[in-house]
Structures are given as C-alpha cells and as structure tokens.
Amino acid sequence: MLRDITLGQYYNTSSPLHDMDPRTKILGVIFYMVVLFMASSVWEYALAALFTAFVIKLSRVPISFITRGLKPLVMIMGFTLALNLLMTSTGNELFHWWIFRVTDDGVALAVKMAVRLVLLVMGTSLLTLTTSPIALTGGIERLLSPLSRIGVPSHEIAMMMSIALRFIPTIMEETDKIIKAQTSRGADFESGNLIQRVKAMIPILVPLFAGAFRRADELAVAMECRCYNGGAGRTSLRELRFRRIDAMALIVGVVLLAAMIGLKILAAGGIA
C-alpha cells in the first residue's frame, strides 16, 4: 500500500524532463494547474490530456508507474464522481431513483471532474518523479529567495525539507525496529477498542520521539562543527542553470495557456 504512492517518489532515469532546471518544472506545474482549472469544454480537456500525454512520453517514466500512483486516489475519485453525478440538478433527466435524479449535465460534469483529477495527479507527480529531492529543495530555495527580503526564511525552509528527506528512511527503519522490540515484549497493537489502541501506541511513540530529539541534537552539533551558520554567504555545489530546454519548456507552457484562452474565446463566440 505505502509503496503504491508514487507522489513524492523519484524515478531515476535520464530524459529531457529530468535535465530541466527544477525551477522551470515547479513553475511549469503551477502553470499546468492553472490551465487544468480553466478547462471546461471537451476540446480544452482534450488539449490538456494531449499535453499531459506528451510530457509523460518526454519523461521516459513508464506509464504503469504513473498509473500506479492513481490507485490510492480511487476512493477520492469515486466520491467526487458520485457527488457530481447525484448533486447536479440542471439538464435533462436521464433517469431517477429514490430522491436522486441523474441528468446529462451531471454525467458530463462528473466525467470532467474525474478527468481533471486524473490529469492533475499524473501531471504533478511528474514533478517529483523527474526531480531528485535535493534538486527540488534547491529549486524551491531559489524560487523563494526573493521572498527572504520580506522575511520568508527560504534557506531554512529548504534546509528543513532536505534534512527531513534525509532522515525519513532512517526513522522508518527505527520505527520498524521499535515495533518489533515492543512486540517481542508482548505488546499488542491489534486488539481492543479505540482508546486501548491509542494507548498501545505510547510504547512506540515515546521512543520514536526521544530518538528523533537525540538525532536532532547530534545532527545540530555535527552541523555546527562543519561551520553551518544559516544561509548567509553560502555557496552551493549544485548548479542551477537555466538552459535552452528550460526556455523552450516555458514557451510551450505559455503557448498552452494561450491555446486554452483561445479555445475559450472561440467557445464564447460560438455561443454568441
């Protein structure tokens, strides 16, 4: 189950998308989301879907890997689908059952919402699939850095993200070990009512937090020993370089946005 969540995972390969500057990709995703939420007609959706397919192809991430990421979202999608299907009252009635009325408008809306969600998840997960965590944090830091003038701690945010990413596997391993150790002491995490189960978590949570604090403490000393002093005057081994491919990607993004607006104007003209 945990392994099905591809959101946030990095797929290591080389592709034009992998080579892009993380800043471009972050901006691209923001663009993409705007476009998706603007879409309303079938043609607009078709354009967005075509674009998504093109980018997936470009990323060289196997489609099966991306669709696997949709699995945990089936519940949410089913829910929105049902909601849209049953709660839309405009349009021609197709059939009704008990207090519910299903209309053609409702069906259209439900399908659109489902497509929008699928595209949204597939498109945004491409950001993390093609960008290593460290490049991602670097990109976020740079994008936020103009904001540090108005007091946003952009370096600290990026450093925190990077350390969190570094320690997630270590803490996961530790959690596994603590659970096993307490199981070996006869702890029972599976039976009893809700309160008993919450109480049963204490032997796991206390050592876990104590361990996290201990690690944080040691890490802080180790960082100080290596002359860490916040973001001021820092250089970086990683190079963020805005290249031709990034310029091209941004142009494509603008074109896509323009096309979307164009389609909207066309549709408006059609109605009038």
Partner 1 sequence: MIELKNVTYTYNKNEPSARVALSDVSLKLDDGDFLGLIGHTGSGKSTLMQIVAGLLPPPQGSVSVDGRDYADYKSAARELRKKVGLVFQYPEHQLFEETVYKDIAFGPKNQKLTGDEIDERVREAARRVRLDSGLLEKSPFDLSGGQKRRVAIAGVVAMKPEVLILDEPTAGLDPAGRDELLNMLGELHRDWRRTIILVSHSMEDIARTVKTAAVMNNGKLVMNGPVEEIFSRGAELRTMGLNTPQISRIVDGLIDAGLPLSRRIFTVKAAADEIEKIVRSKR
Partner 2 sequence: MIKAENLSFSYESEGAEVKVFENLNIEIKDGEFVAVLGHNGSGKSTFAKHLNAILVPKSGKVTVYGIDTADESRIFELRKNVGMVFQNPDNQIVATVVEEDVAFGLENLGVPRDEMRQRVDEALNTVRMYGYRKHAPHLLSGGQKQRVAIAGILAMEPRCIVLDEPTAMLDPIGRDEVMETIRRLNREKGITIVLITHYMDEAVKADRCIVMDRGRIVMDDSPQNIFPRVEEVRALGLDVPQATELVWELKRRGLNVETGALRSAQAVEAILKMYENERTK
Q: Where along the sequence are the contacts to partner 1 (CB under 8 A)? A: 3, 174, 177-178, 180-188, 202-203, 206-207, 210-211
Q: How far apart are CB 177 and partner 2 at their closest, in Å?
A: 13
Which of the stretches 27-35, 52-60, 100-108, 220-228 binds partner 2 when contact is defined by CB under 8 A? 220-228
Q: Which is nearer to partner 1, 43 or 167 (CB)?
A: 167
Q: Which is nearer to partner 1, 90 or 184 (CB)?
A: 184
Q: Which is nearer to partner 1, 181 or 266 (CB)?
A: 181
Instruction: Tell me which of partner 2, partner 1, none is bound by residue 219, counting a contact when its beta carbon lies within the kind-specific cut-off of 5 to 8 angstroms.
Output: partner 2
Rounded distance between C-alpha atoms, residue 148 and residue 56, angstroms: 34
How many other C-beta atoms are found inside a 10 Å radius of the C-beta of residue 58?
Answer: 16
Q: How far apart are CB 173 and partner 2 at their closest, in Å?
A: 8
Say what the alpha-carbon torsion angle 10, 253, 122, 173 is, to the nearest 10 degrees: 20
Cα dihedral 39, 43, 49, 55 sign: negative
Say what the alpha-carbon torsion angle 43, 45, 50, 51 is, to the nearest 10 degrees: 120
Residues 145-174 touching partner 2, rule: CB under 8 A, are: 162-163, 165-166, 169-170
Q: How far apart are CB 18 and partner 2 at their closest, in Å?
A: 13
Asked if residue 134 binds partner 2 (CB under 8 A), the reply is yes
Packing angle of the helix pair 244-271, 22-38 (nearest 10 deg): 10
Nearest to 22 by CA among 10, 34, 33: 10
Q: How far apart are CB 104 and partner 2 at their closest, in Å?
A: 51
Rounded distance between C-alpha atoms, residue 173 and residue 42, angstroms: 47
Q: How far apart are CB 77 and partner 1 at their closest, in Å?
A: 26
Asked if residue 227 binds partner 2 (CB under 8 A), the reply is yes
103, two tokens: 């209309």
Q: Which is nearer to partner 1, 181 or 255 (CB)?
A: 181
Q: Which is nearer to partner 1, 212 or 252 (CB)?
A: 212
139 contacts 22 by C-beta, under 8 angstroms: yes
Instruction: Tell me which of partner 1, partner 2, none is bound by residue 186, counting a contact when its beta carbon lies within the kind-specific cut-off of 5 to 8 angstroms.
Output: partner 1
Tokens 């323009």 found at = 258
90, two tokens: 């405009």
202, two tokens: 């204490």
154 contacts 147 by C-beta, under 8 angstroms: yes
Instruction: Tell me which of partner 2, partner 1, none is bound by residue 224, counting a contact when its beta carbon lies within the kind-specific cut-off of 5 to 8 angstroms.
Output: partner 2
Asked if residue 79 binds partner 2 (CB under 8 A), the reply is no
Identify the residue among 223, 247, 248, 266 touching partner 2 (CB under 8 A). Answer: 223
Asked if residue 212 binds partner 2 (CB under 8 A), the reply is no
Please classify residue 162 by burial: count the beta carbons closer than 10 Å to its beta carbon, then call 0-12 exposed, 13-18 middle and 19+ buried: middle
Rounded distance between C-alpha atoms, residue 116 and residue 187, angstroms: 45
Q: Which residues bind partner 2 (CB under 8 A)?
A: 132-134, 162-163, 165-166, 169-170, 214-215, 218-219, 221-229, 233-239
